[in-house]
Structures are given as C-alpha cells and as structure tokens.
Amino acid sequence: MRPTLNAAEKISRFAVVLAIAGICWSPPAAVAQDIVSSQLRQGFGMNKVRYKDFDWHFVESEHLLLYYEPEFTDLADSAVEYLEEGYAHISALMRHELSTKPPIVIFKSHYEFQQTNIIQSFLPPGVAGFAEPLRYRMVIPFNGDLDDFRNVLVHELMHIFQYDIINRGPVKRISNPIANPPTWIMEGLAEFATQESNTIDEMVLRDAVLTDELLPLEVMNSSWNYLPNPFLAYKQSHSLMEYIAANFGPEKVSRILRVWDSQTDTDKLLERLLDMDMRALDERWQAHMRKKYWPLLQNRDYVSEFATRILQADDIYRLYMAPSWSLGGDMLATLSTDGVEQHVDIIRLSNGRLVERVTENMRAVVYDDLTFNDGTVSWAPNGRSIALVGKKGAGDVVVLWDRYDKEIVDVLSFDGLEIVEGIDWAPDSRRMAFIGTGFGQSDVYIVDVQSKELTQLTGTPQRDAQPNFSPDGKRLAFSSKRGSQFDIKVYDFETQRVSTLLSTPTDDLWPEWLPTGDRLLFVSTRDGINDLFLYDIKHSDEAAHREYTGVSLAPILDNLRRLRERGADVVLLNTFYDFELIYAFFNGF
C-alpha cells in the first residue's frame, strides 16, 4: 500500500494505512494482530455509505483485467498502458510471470474509492491505493495527476508480484500461506519498482541524516504501526533496495523473495543473500548515507538558525497544518488533530494558545469530516471570514464562518467537483480561488461567495495546484504540471489569458506574491533539492531569483504550506518530524 505525498498525514493516519496494508500482506490467521489503528477498528465492520451505483465496464489486456466506468475510457486506456509497461519492467526485474491476470479497479476520485466494498475497512485520505492478496485485486483512485497515477499502479502491481512469488499463486496462499517478509522489504521493493529516487526522497533522507533521525533497520524490521515516522521508513526502504542493487548487484534484489520462500528470518535471509546480517547491512548503508550528505552541512543552515518555533506538537497524535494569517498577523487559523478528530483552531502566536475552536459542534451537522489537503483553511483579508473545507456526502463543501458573529454564513457546494483544496481569498474578500478536482482532472476555479458564480479558469488534463492572488487582485499565480514537472503560470483577469512565468526542467511550486506585487516567492528543485527562491517579475528577461538556504533542511516534504507573507514574515509548516508550525523571518524581501 502506498501513501500519498500531497496529503500530509500524521502518525495516526499512517497507522491506518499500515494496518490496512497488514490485511493485504498477512495470511488470514495474522490479520487480527495487524489491525492496531483505533480509527481502523472503529471503521471495520460498519456498512459503507454508497453514494452512487457504479456502471462497471472492463477491458482485458495481455496480462490484466481492468474495470472502469465508461465515461473515463481515456483514463482506462492510460491505466492499461502504464500497467503493461510496469508489468514488463517488474517481470524482468523479478524474473517472474504472474500465474493469473489480476483484476484492477480504478476510481475517478478518492471519495468514490472510499466506497469500494472489496475491503470493508475505512480508507482515509492518506491511502493512495491497495492490493488485496487473496484474489490479487488492485483498487486505485485517480488524484488528478497522471504521474502519481502511474506510480501507484506500478507500486501496487509489484505487491501482486510479491504475493505470487512468495505463495506460488493465489490458491496456495489460501491453503498453505507463507508469512510475508518485513514491511521494509515489501515496501522497499514496491518503491524500487516504481521509480528512481526523486527530489522529495532526497530531501527526506538528507534531512534525516543531517538531524540524526534515521530509523534503525532493527526498528523498521518490526511492525510499522507505531513508527515515529512511517513516511521516512518508506524512503529508507527504497534507499536500502537501491543500495543493495548498486553494491551487490540487481540480481540480489530479484532473489530476495525467493530466498525468503525458505527462510522466514531477516538475519538468515540477509546472510544467505548478502553474506551479512541485518546490523551489518544497516551500518554499511548508514555510513554510505553519511558520506553522501554530511558534506552539505558546509553550505546549509539548520532551520533553528533562522526560524522561531510557534507551535510544538505535544504528542505523536497531534498535527498542525494549513496555517492562515489573521488580519492583524497576531493569530493563525489552522487545521489540527488530536489523533481522533480533526478541528479548525485559531491560535495566538505570542503564546501558542488556543483562542477559539472554529468547528465546535459542526461535525455531522455541517460536514462529515474535515479534509487534510493543501490549503483547506483560509482567513479572508478583511479578517472576518474564515473558509474551511469539509467532506459532505460524496464531495467537498466550503464552509464560510464569520469570526465576529461566531456563526456559519454559508456552505458552498459545486456540482461535479468532488475535491476542493488550495483556497486563496482575493484582496476584496469576495472572491476565492481554489483547485477543484472533478471530471477526472484538477483545475483552477474562481467563486464569487456572494453571487455563487463559479468560473473555471483552466481545463487541461494535467494537474494544477496552489493558486495565489496578486496584492491588487488582478492576477492569479498557480503551479501547473506540464509533462513531468510543475511550471508557474499567471492568469490575468483583464485579458482572461494564462501566461507561463517560470518553466524549467525541474519543479517550480507554491508561488506567493510579495506585497509590492512585482516579486514572487516560490519553491524550486532546480538545484536538486527543495529550496526557497525569489523571482523578480520586472526583470524576467534576467530570470532574477535568489536562494534562501536551509529551508529544505526543515523536514517539510514539499510542505511550505501557504507561504503567507506579512511584510517579511513567512509561515512554514514542518510536517515531518515534530509536526509543528515554524514562524520564519527573512530579511531583504
């Protein structure tokens, strides 16, 4: 099972992901021991709400059966292409052909995916798909990004190969099951089959090395349900497989599962495969990682050298996310969770204390649950309105709450749009920009909160993200994926045209206007890591930008959530180790 990258999840959510993965990976007798998440226990056995009747069609290719809804034939065609390419790659890597054609079900959105009855457990936002081991079924939602879709399909297909190799077919898995290898082997292989390490992987691993946060292999070899950082464990597992392939040969990777077939102890497996035990492998890999990343300390700063902490998560179940400034700049509205329920809270910056719980008594009345996507809380420039996104039925709604009158002003819903994220208010506090996902793609929309008029600004099959109004409200900057990387584009409301501001071979993300309106802050991977850059629009012919070092050393996983400027003040959201908000001050803007 593979977690998503664009939904920053806390340990409680990853525990759910991993518990479901335990169902996928474990023989029937061990299932109960793997379901440890309290959220999963609450959801298991309950009847799922079905909001629609699905009209399933299927297509059979050389190696698989794909089920889809007929209005998404193009998506199904892409899925078959990705899966057949993935099958060829995995088959060559593992030197194995599947014993049967796996049935694969694709959904157009995560909310429809949650309605599947293939497993009865609740599927939280962090679950990007799953592979079911008894019948070799795969279930995958589309999140609006074809690259993500491809990666998840291949990741889960590798799990099907793993089940088939270990148990020699689905029938034998039922009649004579063999315990699966540890999660780091299963997930490391699945990530290894999906892609080479990307800039996010590099950032996560680099920060873990430089802050001495790497998880010992002995810890990763046991249950992942209570790991302090499961997402880091995914990246370490991937890196370990790359290390084995590079230093011992790719054939060692292909033999891991076959060696496990007769040896169910990790030390014995590694001794037979690599002539070393788990401790020796861990020591060699960690030494390799230190040699790779320690030289970077000469030119990089720790976040504590230039940032002051606002909020500290006081336990592993608490998360703060999606901060948004108040009018006076002395408070933040932010998503929070205590591991059981999600809230929108107003926090005072001077002491980090709770001022008000905006969503008190809203759940089950106004919305079913809050959504932990990017930019799902936004405080209007007039200081009065706070917009928040919640799931209601089969889609998202935007709740408008009046800070002064302490009441809900309106609840906005949008036909055909299932997911709403990236909310940004216009300076007039009347319009909102957001990313709406529906009809099989994600695009930029504008809504007038008084007239309810909805305008779609973009309409491409690839993914748009992170809209941000200019200070005068005449332009809207946003990230837009074209090909395999994100560019920064600008929509001009007077000309009603979209222009490309930044386009490089790497990702340029999270554009944020500075108060003068002639410069943009953005995150870029142009030097191989995530860092802050400053772009001077007036001198665009010179591509003027400036790097602020040290930002990516904050363990943020592309989570410079809502770089909301107030003069020279910037809020960063640290979601990787301490799950805290950081208040950073930069000079020279």
Same domain, 466 and 346: yes
pLDDT in tens, 41-71: 334 334 566 667 788 999 999 999 999 998 8
Does 435 lie in the same domain as 311?
yes
pLDDT attached to residue 269: 93
Alpha-carbon distance values, 367 to 342, 386, 420 (Å): 12, 16, 14
Q: What integer pLDDT is reported at residue 523 of this predicted model?
A: 82
What CATH number is associated with residue 532? 2.120.10.30
Given a cut of 50, is residue 9 above it in pLDDT? no
* SS3 assignment, position 479: strand
Pure H helices in 96-249: 110-113, 146-167, 170-175, 183-194, 199-210, 217-220, 230-248
Compute the distance between CA of residue 259 and CA of residue 109 in angstroms, rounded to an integer.
Answer: 39
Cα-only R_g, the chain = 24
Beta bridge partners of 513: 520
Rounded Cα distance between 191 and 154, Å, is: 9
- In the prediction, which pLDDT does 276 show? 96
Q: How much is the average pLDDT of 356-370? A: 90
Q: What is the pTM of this model?
A: 0.81
Contacts of 333 (CB under 8 A, 6+ apart): 323, 324, 326, 344, 345, 346, 347, 358, 377, 378, 379, 386
Phi/psi at 299 (5° precision): -120, 5
Residue 242 has pLDDT above 80, yes or no: yes
| Lowest pLDDT segment from 29-33, 151-155, 243-247 | 29-33
Q: Check whether residue 28 and residue 96 sit in a common domain.
A: yes
Helix-strand-coil percent breakdown of the chain, rounded to 5? 30, 30, 40
Report whether 423 contacts 378 (CB < 8 A).
yes
Domain count, the chain: 3
pLDDT, tens digit, 9 for 90 and up, residues 568-586? 445 444 444 444 454 444 4
Using CA atoms, how far apart are residues 443 and 416, in angstroms rounded to an integer? Answer: 12
**Are 335 and 462 part of one and the same domain?**
yes
Question: Which has the higher per-residue pLDDT, 318 or 269?
Answer: 269
> Do 307 and 240 share a domain, yes or no?
no
Do 166 and 201 sit in the same domain of this protein? no
Burial 32-63 (b: 16+ CB within 10 A, else e): eebbbbebbeebbeeeeeeeeeeeeeeeeeeb
Would you mind telling me the total number of residues written for the chain in this entry? 589
Residue 207's nearest CA partner among 526, 559, 557 is 557
Range 449-456 average pLDDT = 96
On the 0-12 / 13-18 / 19+ scale of CB atoms within 10 A, 459 is exposed
464 shares a domain with 342: yes
Average pLDDT over residues 341-349: 89
Of 298, 328, 360, at which residue does a domain stop? 298
What share of the chain in percent tops pLDDT 90? 45
Which residue would you say has higher pLDDT here, 220 or 6? 220
Whether residues 414 and 526 share a domain: the answer is: yes
Q: Which residues contact 274 (CB under 8 A, 6 or more apart)?
A: 244, 248, 252, 281
Q: What is the DSSP letter of 430?
A: S
Does pLDDT of 24 surpass 50?
no
Phi, psi of 230 (to 5 degrees): -60, -35
Q: Which amino acid is at 245?
A: A
Query: Which is nearest to 574 in space by CA: 555, 588, 548, 552?
Result: 555
Confidence of residue 1 (pLDDT cuts 50, 70, 90): low
Last residue of some domain: 298, 329, 355?
Answer: 298
Q: Are residues 283 and 385 in the same domain?
A: no
Asked if 3 and 145 sit in the same domain, the reply is yes
Q: Which of 9-13, 122-126, 185-189, 432-436 has the lowest mean pLDDT?
A: 9-13
Confidence of residue 397 (pLDDT cuts 50, 70, 90): very high
In this structure, are 105 and 243 located in the same domain? Answer: no
Band (302; pLDDT cuts 50, 70, 90): low
Do the Cβ atoms of 290 and 209 come closer than 8 Å? yes
407-408-410 Cα angle (round to 5):
150
378 in Cβ contact with 421 (< 8 Å): no
Same domain, 280 and 319: no
Last residue of some domain: 134, 158, 180?
180
Range of the domain at 576: 303-585
The stretch 435-463 carries a mean pLDDT of 91
Give, in degrees to the nearest 5, the angle at Cα 230 between 120 and 116: 20
Q: Which amino acid is at 323?
A: P
* Nearest Cα to Cα of residue 220 among 202, 207, 206, 208: 208
